[in-house]
């Protein structure tokens, strides 16, 4: 029995959380993989009700769970996900970008993953004013850079596709910080002679994600670049609705959709839940590897193939041009599972 903490979030968060619960309950009842789900509050609603975007009881429940699923939250996101990443040392932000049928992808053969360092860079929030200027501290360390580089190379080994890692930086301009990151990745690459290693400036990478996205396998980069490039890669394969993400540490992991709370369609039962459901697939992969549970990995693969087969028929939710509601789309998935 896996204990799963579930932050239901804001906007469309509660709706897609119900989709996630339906899928997890189906897996529990029909596929004999047991989950105990605890719904938790965090985000704008929690801030309004408790005075904290991330209440203490939510933090405690997450720490007592085996893994966390997080629906999108609103304006208070920085006080939720950024805090959890640091608190739980979730140093690797993993964002796959894969072509799915009947989605407006640039090509049908894109299958890459961005491995983003998740604890440093400008996202530490160390900013201050000096006179009429605003200053931000950019912190890049050797230890964090080598740690994320190793994760990227291990990912390339496990994927067993192109077996290539692309280190993205801008060391021709930021010679000290990005220079350190590039050198750390280069040093780690020497331990993986079977993996092709290349370097690319971030502006060139942004261009090549449009020009030849099929050439990428694993991209490793810093926090800010990874945030921007992962949104771009998601759009290259058709949009954020099919884009899951994982925040992974040595002992814990949190899984979430890449997209935001989409307040403009909240409460209409039209949101595509696929990104959140594919996050469950990533969670099953992580739990399976961590606990040597092949059943868990098989269930994750079955969930992804079920979503793939469903969208292959042309079925979509209303927010992306289809005619199905969120709940109807979810029921198709649970029936097929």
- pLDDT value of position 113: 98
Contact residues for 119 (Cβ-Cβ < 8 A; gap 6+): 85, 86, 89, 90, 91, 144, 223
- pLDDT value of position 212: 97
Please indicate, yes or no, whether the overall pTM of this predicted structure exceeds 0.85.
yes
* Mean pLDDT for the stretch of residues 209-222: 98
DSSP H helical segments within 202-315, as ranges? Answer: 202-211, 223-236, 274-290, 294-312
**Encoded tokens for 26:** 């189906």
pLDDT, averaged across the chain: 96
- pLDDT value of position 160: 85
**Encoded tokens for 36:** 């105990």
| CATH architecture observed for domain 106-236 | 3-Layer(aba) Sandwich (3.40)
Domain 1-98+240-337 identical in fold to domain 106-236: yes
Q: Provide the 8-state DSSP code for 245.
A: E
Residue 158 — pLDDT band, cuts 50, 70, 90? very high
Give, in words, the CATH class of 1-98+240-337.
alpha beta
Contact residues for 124 (Cβ-Cβ < 8 A; gap 6+): 137, 139
- pLDDT value of position 54: 97
No. of helices (H) and no. of strands (E), the chain? 11, 12
Question: Can you tell me the distance from the alpha carbon of 79 to that of 90, in angstroms, rounded to the nearest whole number?
Answer: 15
Q: Could you state, in order of their start, the residue ranges of all structural domains in the chain? A: 1-98+240-337, 106-236
Three-state DSSP at 64 gives: coil
Q: What does the buried/exposed string (b/e) look like for 261-295 if buried means 16 or more CB atoms within 10 Å of the residue's CB?
A: bbeebbeebbbbbbbbbbbbbbbbbbbbebeeeee
* Mean pLDDT for the stretch of residues 54-66: 97
Where in the sequence numbering do the catalytic residues fall?
123, 170, 203, 227, 231
């Amino acid at each position: 029995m896996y204990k799963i903490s579930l932050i239901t979030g804001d906007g469309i968060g509660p709706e897609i959380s119900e989709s996630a619960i339906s899928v997890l309950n189906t897996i529990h009842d029909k596929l004999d993989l047991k989950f105990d789900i605890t719904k938790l509050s965090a985000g704008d609603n929690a801030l309004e009700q408790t005075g904290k975007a991330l209440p203490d009881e939510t933090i405690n429940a997450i720490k007592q769970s085996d893994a966390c699923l997080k629906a999108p939250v609103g304006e208070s996101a920085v006080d939720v996900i950024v805090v959890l990443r640091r608190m739980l040392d979730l140093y690797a932000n993993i964002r796959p970008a894969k072509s799915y049928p009947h989605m407006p992808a640039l090509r049908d053969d894109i299958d890459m993953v961005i491995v983003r360092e998740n604890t440093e860079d400008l996202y530490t929030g160390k900013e201050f004013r000096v006179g009429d200027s605003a200053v931000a501290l950019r912190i890049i360390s050797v230890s964090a850079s080598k740690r994320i580089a190793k994760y990227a190379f291990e990912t390339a080994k496990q994927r067993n596709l192109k077996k290539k890692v692309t280190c993205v930086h801008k060391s021709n301009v930021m010679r000290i910080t990005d220079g350190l990151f590039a050198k750390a990745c280069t040093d780690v690459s020497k331990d993986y002679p079977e993996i092709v290693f290349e370097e690319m400036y971030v502006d060139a990478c942004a261009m090549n994600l449009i020009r030849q996205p099929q050439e990428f396998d694993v991209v490793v980069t810093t926090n800010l670049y990874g945030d921007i490039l992962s949104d771009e890669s998601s759009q290259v394969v058709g949009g954020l609705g099919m884009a899951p993400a994982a925040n992974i540490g040595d002992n814990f992991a949190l899984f979430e959709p890449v997209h935001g709370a989409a307040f403009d369609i909240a409460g209409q039962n039209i949101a595509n839940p696929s990104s959140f459901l594919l996050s469950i697939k990533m969670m099953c992969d992580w739990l399976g590897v961590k606990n040597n549970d092949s059943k868990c990995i098989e269930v994750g693969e079955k969930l992804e193939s079920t979503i793939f087969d469903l969208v292959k028929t042309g079925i979509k939710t209303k927010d992306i041009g289809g005619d199905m509601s969120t709940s109807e789309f979810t029921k198709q998935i649970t029936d097929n599972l």
